[in-house]
Amino acid sequence: DTGVSQDPRHKITKRGQNVTFRCDPISEHNRLYWYRQTLGQGPEFLTYFQNEAQLEKSRLLSDRFSAERPKGSFSTLEIQRTEQGDSAMYLCASSETGVNTEAFFGQGTRLTVV
């Protein structure tokens, strides 16, 4: 296993368009997390899944954002009607279940809304 994989690595889109990102976690990891990182800031939690169940969503995740993990494996994050403020790095991480675990991060998808 090569770790957490995210696709695409870079995305440039026009304001108002919809975009979808994909995350493939480490195969044996039950938990999957999405974070957003704007330039010069630390990552901010967006949402997380335990298998296919979305257990928590941040208030940062507006109605234009939706995340899925249909079969408890890969996950998608969709942003509808993108705005310039959505420009950021979107990070995915995964971990095993339990408290004494480590989150492994992907390289992220950098979104630029023009």
Which is nearer to another protein, 11 or 43 (by Cβ)? 43
Residues 57, 111: Cα–Cα separation, whole Å: 20
CB of 4 to another protein, least distance (A): 7
Q: Is 28 in the site for another protein (CB under 8 A)?
A: no
Beta bridge partners of 37: 89
* Residue pair 23/107 in contact by the 8 Å Cβ criterion: no
Q: Shortest distance, CB of residue 94 to another protein, whole angstroms?
A: 9
SS3 82: coil
Residues 41-80 that bind another protein (CB under 8 A): 41-45, 48, 56
Q: Per-residue contact track with another protein, 77 to 96, x per CB under 8 A?
A: --------------x-x-x-
Based on the shown chain and the rule CB under 8 A, indicate whether residue 25 belongs to the binding site for another protein. no
Distances (CA, A) of 48 to 33, 52, 60, 81, 112: 4, 10, 13, 22, 23
Whether the bond into 43 is cis, omega within 30 of 0:
no
Q: Does 99 bind another protein (CB under 8 A)?
A: yes
Note the residues at the interface with another protein (CB under 8 A): 3-4, 31, 33, 35, 40-45, 48, 56, 91, 93, 95, 98-103, 105-108
